[in-house]
A and B are shown apart, each in its own frame.
Chain A
Amino acid sequence: MTAAVPSLSLRAKSTNARVRPYVFGALGLVLLALVWEAYKAVGPAEGVMIGDITVLPRTSDIAMPHLWTMWERLGEPVTSAAGSPALWFAVLQAAGFTLGIAAVGWLVGVSVGMLLAIVMQRFRTAESALLPWVVLSQTVPLIAIAPLVKRWGAQIEVGAFDWEDWMSVALIASYLAFFPVSIGALRGLGSPDKAHLELMHSYAAGWWSTLLRLRLPASVPYLLPALRLAAANAVIGTVVAEVSIGLRGGVGRMMVEFASAASGDPAKPWAPIFGAVLVGLIAAGVVIVLGLFVGRYRRGEVSA
């Protein structure tokens, strides 16, 4: 009868609302670039100091290269050695490497987080026993666990399987990724109304059916932001762990290597930073695309 009208207006509104964040995101980037160049143009050469503390950086070409210098640098070879690939290519390769490890870490983290949440949802006692540890786990600094993981990993050797450094990095990434998922999923699994739970009870549905048909679908609106956070955490975890474990091939190690070239080639260290940003954007994008596939589970968000 009249149902077509609200559904249409609903859809129109949601596309508008979907595009807006990207527009604002792009505007934010432009603004950032403008602020960078503006400060470089008018800021004092020695930076802004309060007492002995530098609150704003020097504006020299070494401390703050022009954006277009950074851009041009990407097109030039990594080093002056013959056969050196273009910087953009090397960065892209490193970004791909980092993205791969972050993806493994994300998958492991999401699986562990989901599993923990389901166990905690199922058993009240498990929640009170596990939840404090889950929260506590995130207070251990990454720098502290990286060498530990590497050392423990080195002792693992099962038949043909050999623990490699990239696995340590992925494990650390998963360590950061599982947390938001376990918390988000725990809230989501507990989110169904009493009425819906009683309906399932009246159908004599067991715990497993209720999980599959009610709790999991109901937790999607809670899970998506958690997955996004987990993706960001996995990327950060991977980059930092690459540095602290000393794994070559990714943007983390590249940042350290290129930083030493900063004085002679100030635009070069920025390239792996852009690479890391790219990895973060791709990771976030994948989760957004994932969200499009489960659109119908987010209807609860729209209807009041």
Chain B
Amino acid sequence: MNAVEVTGVSKVFRVAKGAEVVALDSVSLSVVPGEFVSLIGPSGCGKSTLLRLIADLDQPTAGEVLVFGKSARQARIDQDYGIAFQQAGLLPWRTVTGNIELPLELHGVGKAARRARAQDLLALVGLSDFADRYPDQLSGGMQQRVAIARSLAESPELLLMDEPFGALDEMTRERMQTELVRICAETGAAVVFVTHSIPEAVYLSSRVVVMSPRPGRIQEVVTVGLGSAGTRDDALREDAAFFASVKAVREALHGDAVHEKAPHSVRGVETR
């Protein structure tokens, strides 16, 4: 059974009277358990929308979204996924531990079990010394790591991440990518990861889904053959295979631009 099965999904937003935005147009995608899939494309191509449909934060206009064989709604109720956004979204009045414990608390996990789980997760993201800090006492990168720990709290088989490193500086970002690869290897969770950085997508993923805007469609799916998550490390960033994949994704993105004779349509994608 697939972790995510999106079949012929369309999403139309009604903006003003009569005006419509086709955010997604018959998109189909499957993600197998344990797989890391990135969604990449110029801004406005429907990456966030697709992720939100999988998370049941929005409903598709047409088509079907299945998560572990269930409806997205049921999967949300069963807490089959963890979620992280570009903004860490920590509750400012809760300590780091309190924030990580929030989903556990909401689902009736006992106090001792919560504490233990939060401690494990803090160790996993390297923030054990900051357990009792409040979010405003942490740097952006630390906050984002807490958010990731929180998304892992209930050991989900699926992680949904929308540009979680988008607001971080380049250095922190690379370190976080390395950490995420390690965490995924340890937890074995499938990940759907939205980004607008090509190197980030290639470094993290086994497959990169390249999308194009107006209407939002899947342009091409690039398979990255860089080995399993457990064997990826920083040296990979210098690897020839890495550059080959970066080139492939870039060409997939630009292919669209050539086709439309509108190079600006790839604006918003970092090709560094």
A residues near B (Cβ < 8 Å) are 1-3, 6-7, 10, 193, 195-196, 198-205, 209, 213-214, 217, 220, 296-300, 302-303
Contact = CB atoms under 8 A, between A and B. Distances in A.
Given A7-B133, A195-B89, 16 more contacts: A3-B138, A3-B139, A195-B87, A196-B89, A199-B89, A202-B83, A203-B103, A204-B77, A213-B102, A213-B106, A217-B93, A296-B134, A299-B92, A299-B136, A300-B92, A300-B93
Nearest to A204: B77
Interface of B: 55-57, 76-77, 79, 81, 83, 85, 87, 89, 91-93, 102-103, 105-107, 130, 133-139, 142
B91 A196 contact: yes
Contacts of A199: 83, 89
Contacts of A203: 79, 102-103, 106-107
- Residue picked from B103, B130, B135, most chain A C-beta under 10 Å: B103
Contacts of B130: 3
Nearest to A294: B93
- Residue picked from B76, B83, B136, most chain A C-beta under 10 Å: B136
Given A3-B137, A202-B55, A203-B79, A296 B87 contact: no
B92 A202 contact: no
Which 3 A-B residue pairs are closest in the complex by CB-CB distance? Answer: A303-B136, A299-B92, A7-B137
A198 B136 contact: no
Contacts of A195: 85, 87, 89
Contacts of A202: 55-57, 76, 81, 83
A193 B55 CA distance: 18
Given A202-B83, A203-B79, A203-B103, A303 B92 contact: yes
Given A201-B57, A202-B83, A302-B136, A193 B89 contact: yes
Contacts of B91: 196, 213-214, 217
22 contacts: A3-B130, A3-B133, A3-B139, A6-B137, A199-B89, A201-B57, A202-B56, A202-B81, A203-B79, A203-B102, A203-B103, A205-B106, A213-B106, A214-B91, A217-B91, A217-B93, A296-B134, A298-B93, A299-B93, A299-B134, A302-B136, A303-B136
A205 B76 CA distance: 10
A193 B88 CA distance: 12
A278 B142 CA distance: 48
Given A3-B142, A203-B107, A297 B93 contact: yes
Contacts of A200: 106
Contact of B76 (A204, A213, A298): A204
Contacts of B77: 204
Contacts of A2: 139
A201 to B, nearest CB: 6
Nearest to A214: B91
Given A3-B133, A217-B91, A204 B79 contact: yes
Contacts of B134: 296, 299
A299 B90 CA distance: 12
Nearest to A217: B93
A215 to B, nearest CB: 11
A196 B135 CA distance: 14
A299 B91 CA distance: 10
A299 B138 CA distance: 13
B146 to A, nearest CB: 12
A203 to B, nearest CB: 5
A1 B142 CA distance: 10
Contacts of A209: 106
Contacts of B133: 3, 7
- Residue picked from B57, B76, B89, B93, most chain A C-beta under 10 Å: B93
Contacts of A300: 92-93
A188 B57 CA distance: 23
Nearest to B86: A195
Contacts of A214: 91
Contact of B93 (A10, A204, A296): A296
A31 B137 CA distance: 40
A297 to B, nearest CB: 4
Nearest to B58: A198
B148 to A, nearest CB: 13
A7 B134 CA distance: 9
A205 B79 CA distance: 11
A209 B104 CA distance: 13
A214 B91 CA distance: 8
A177 B85 CA distance: 41
Contacts of B76: 201-202, 204
A252 B193 CA distance: 67
A204 B93 CA distance: 21
A163 B240 CA distance: 88
Nearest to A297: B93
